[in-house]
Structure 1
Amino acid sequence: MSAFQKMTKGMARSGAALLCAAALVGCGGHSHAVAARDNSRSLIPPEPRPLPERASSVPEPVRPEEKSFGARYATPSQCEAAARALQATSRDSAWTALKSCVERTHFTLLGALLSDAWAEDLRVRPDAARIIARVVALRGGSVPGELSLLHEHKVPIFGLSDAIAQPDIYKGRYLLLRAQVADVRSDEDKPTVWLVEQSVGSVVREQPVGATTRRETVKVRSGALGGDVGTFGRANLGGQLVTRESEQTVSSLPRYDNLSDETGREALGRLTSADPFFAPGKDFVVLARFDGLRTTSSGEDEDEDAPKLPVLTIVSYHAPHPLVVY
């Protein structure tokens, strides 16, 4: 074999070796490339998952159905404003909240209750009259003045004197009166109370304020006299003169106490069941339905001039506050 042939054969072997090496390198390089790609994928940060929502720091709104709604507010005005704000979402919820304000606060805001915001509720709600009666009692129970305010806003609640004067017109309507229970009797398993209507007046008195200043002065004068006293000859006279002076300074302020007095009007009230808290000798603001007039036992039904008493079905009653809101 010639030298040229030997060189050609050697080059062929070298080329085959190079191809094999390239193939091996290519195979190995492919496997490493895949691993590198896999590793590169593992280094990619995962997409951030949404974090769980944090609990809001703002407390959930109070459900107006809860009786504690009114207890969350310091003043009746704040409570009424919060209840009025609920009207935008639910008038039922707003009314329930307002009732809680009346029950859980010293609610005397009759003007706010009679505002346009609650006018529709006062007209259609069956328990509106009870709410009004409770507010009137919290304001001290001066019923005639409160009825005038109610009538300015066309609220159909009337006085006992109106019903007595025109019984046919006011029969079946609500009456509001301040009355004292005089007697309780049972009539066909339903108690009947004897009501004596009361009016509220005020009596002024002076109440001392601060310290009292008192000063007392005692003056003593003494002396002697001598001389001729006539037939008795000479004589000496002596003695003392004592005077006292006192001065007192007192600062006072006028105070007014509310006193109830009878108006002369009486009525018979019917209760659905006996109530030990509706006791004789106490004043109450009474909401009742007027059932008409009934002839007393001393007269005849046919006699138009026979004495008659108004008959009431008592709906609710409330103890009046000792202080009157004017």
Structure 2
Amino acid sequence: MSAFQKLSKVAARSGAALLCAVSVVGCGSLRHSHTVDEEFSKRPVSEARPARATRAEAAPEPSRPGEKAFGARYATPAQCEVAARRLLASSRDEAWAALKSCVEHTHFTLLDALLRDAWAEELRVRPDAAQVIAQVVAQRGGSVEGELPRLHARKVPIFGLSAAVAQPDIYKGRYLLLRAQVADVRSEGDRPTVWLVEQGLGSMSREQSVGYATRRDSVRVHSGAVGGNVGLLGPSNLDGQLATSEREVSSSTVERFDNFSDETGREALGRMQKADPFFAPGKDFVVLARFDGLRVTSSSEEEEDEDAPKLPVLTIVSYYAPHPLVVY
């Protein structure tokens, strides 16, 4: 082997050694990084990822279903009721709180959905169930006489004033629902008493024009002359004019109904815990109350007279302003 060939082999071995050295350094760096990653992964999350933990702590917690904001999340009452019903499987308390939020924050008129079997147990045991029903009835327009049969079909123990007056012993202590106006407010000590006049809800039809109305006027004039012998008067000529007019009007109408309230003839005395400036005279309210019995309104000398006039006495639980549109 020549000296030149020996020198080439030495150079080749030196180059291979140099490449190996470079690769070892590189491999050593990767193993070191891998070892650091293993140690990092064994640390607690707060130590391993402090930045993410800080962002999580700063983010607000989502609101629970029972909060009042639940009803504001949904565009329609139907969507809100379905979402609240789904919570029954996990928590009946949260589901009921969610349903109340739907009633308070949406124009909730779905009385049939409220009376469905899914909510039957809640309506039976919840102490505020009657108030929720009264609020829904008010939002449906406050047609109490029309809504009570729907409640009774589902065995909901809320009754009308007429039934309580007819059989006071049976309905004493039970819930009554009525549409009434405040006629007068008087204070007896710290508890005011309001004079309630029950109102019935009716409707009146009227014709309302829709679209464009058309009208056509025309006048016709007829003229002529007649000549001839008229007997003793001799020859004669007669002439004149006859005018006629026509008028035609056509329009398209649709039948509309306007709601109005009228007194039923029944009155009651309502007791309140404290004075309420919003429970004012001259306005209709849907009133939820407990029936306390009948009270003689004549003088004390006639209290023993069975024929003396009596007024029903109520303890007012809550009241709601009825919506002007009635849901049928």
Kept in 1: contact 2:181–2:282 (CA 8 A): yes
Residue 255 (structure 2) aligns with: 254
Over 3 Å counting, the alpha-carbon distance change for 1:278 and 1:41 in structure 2 is same
Q: Of residues 294, 314, 317 in structure 2, which corresponds to 1:315?
A: 317
User: Aligned to 1:209, what secondary structure does the other structure show?
Assistant: strand
Displacement of 1:222 after TM fit?
Answer: 2.4
Q: What letter matches 1:307 in structure 2?
A: P
User: Aligned to 1:43, what secondary structure does the other structure show?
Assistant: helix
Q: What letter matches 2:218 in structure 1?
A: T
How far apart, CA to CA, are the structure 1 residues paired with 2:299 and 2:77?
50
Displacement of 1:225 after TM fit?
Answer: 4.5
Over 3 Å counting, the alpha-carbon distance change for 1:258 and 1:37 in structure 2 is same
User: Aligned to 1:107, what secondary structure does the other structure show?
Assistant: coil
Residue 187, structure 1, aligned to residue 172, structure 2 = no
Kept in 1: contact 2:184–2:281 (CA 8 A): yes
User: Aligned to 2:307, what secondary structure does the other structure show?
Assistant: coil
Over 3 Å counting, the alpha-carbon distance change for 1:43 and 1:317 in structure 2 is closer
Larger deviation, residues 250-259 vs 282-291 = 250-259
Kept in 2: contact 1:298–1:307 (CA 8 A): no
How far apart, CA to CA, are the structure 2 residues paired with 1:159 and 1:36?
94
How far apart, CA to CA, are the structure 1 residues paired with 2:77 and 2:281?
32
Kept in 1: contact 2:298–2:308 (CA 8 A): no
Residue 158 (structure 1) aligns with: 159
Displacement of 1:234 after TM fit?
Answer: 6.5
How far apart, CA to CA, are the structure 1 residues paired with 2:222 and 2:156?
79
Kept in 1: contact 2:66–2:95 (CA 8 A): no
Which digits, 9 at most, give the CA deviation of each residue in 1:145-200, with x for residues without a partner? 21111112221111111111121221111100111222222222322211111111
Over 3 Å counting, the alpha-carbon distance change for 1:98 and 1:38 in structure 2 is same
- 1:213-232 equivalence runs, <5 A: 213-225=214-226
Residue 173 (structure 2) aligns with: 172
Displacement of 1:228 after TM fit?
Answer: 6.4
- 1:34-45 equivalence runs, <5 A: 40-44=27-31, 45=33
Residue 286 (structure 1) aligns with: 287
Q: What letter matches 1:319 in structure 2?
A: A
Q: What letter matches 2:207 in structure 1?
A: E
Displacement of 1:68 after TM fit?
Answer: 2.1
Q: What letter matches 1:190 in structure 2?
A: R
Larger deviation, residues 281-290 vs 225-234 = 225-234
The normalised TM-score by structure 1 is 0.80
State which structure, 1 or 2, has the greater radius of gyration over its C-alpha atoms: 1
Q: What letter matches 1:77 in structure 2?
A: A
How far apart, CA to CA, are the structure 1 residues paired with 2:61 and 2:224?
94
- 1:90-105 equivalence runs, <5 A: 90-105=91-106
The normalised TM-score by structure 2 is 0.80
Kept in 2: contact 1:159–1:175 (CA 8 A): yes
Larger deviation, residues 298-307 vs 192-201 = 298-307
Larger deviation, residues 71-80 vs 240-249 = 240-249
Kept in 1: contact 2:144–2:178 (CA 8 A): yes
How far apart, CA to CA, are the structure 1 residues paired with 2:22 and 2:225?
143
Unpaired runs of 5+ residues, structure 2, are: 1-19, 42-47
Which digits, 9 at most, give the CA deviation of each residue in 1:242-278, with x for residues without a partner? 2110111111111112222222111011122222221
How far apart, CA to CA, are the structure 1 residues paired with 2:191 and 2:229?
100
Larger deviation, residues 189-198 vs 80-89 = 189-198
How far apart, CA to CA, are the structure 2 residues paired with 1:87 and 1:194?
41
Displacement of 1:112 after TM fit?
Answer: 1.0
- 1:107-146 equivalence runs, <5 A: 107-146=108-147
How far apart, CA to CA, are the structure 2 residues paired with 1:185 and 1:238?
86
User: Aligned to 1:155, what secondary structure does the other structure show?
Assistant: coil
Which digits, 9 at most, give the CA deviation of each residue in 1:1-26, with x for residues without a partner? xxxxxxxxxxxxxxxxxxxxxxxxxx
Greater percentage in helix:
2
How far apart, CA to CA, are the structure 1 residues paired with 2:219 and 2:120?
73
Kept in 1: contact 2:285–2:319 (CA 8 A): yes
How far apart, CA to CA, are the structure 2 residues paired with 1:241 and 1:119?
80
User: Aligned to 2:122, what secondary structure does the other structure show?
Assistant: helix
How far apart, CA to CA, are the structure 1 residues paired with 2:292 and 2:247?
67
Residue 208, structure 1, aligned to residue 195, structure 2 = no
How far apart, CA to CA, are the structure 1 residues paired with 2:97 and 2:130?
14
Which digits, 9 at most, give the CA deviation of each residue in 1:52-101, with x for residues without a partner? 67999xx9764223322111111111000111111222111111111110
How far apart, CA to CA, are the structure 2 residues paired with 1:43 and 1:302?
106
How far apart, CA to CA, are the structure 1 residues paired with 2:28 and 2:318?
79
Residue 196, structure 1, aligned to residue 201, structure 2 = no
Q: What letter matches 1:305 in structure 2?
A: D
Q: Name the Cα RMSD after superposition.
A: 2.9
How far apart, CA to CA, are the structure 2 residues paired with 1:296 and 1:160?
18
% identity of equivalent residues = 71
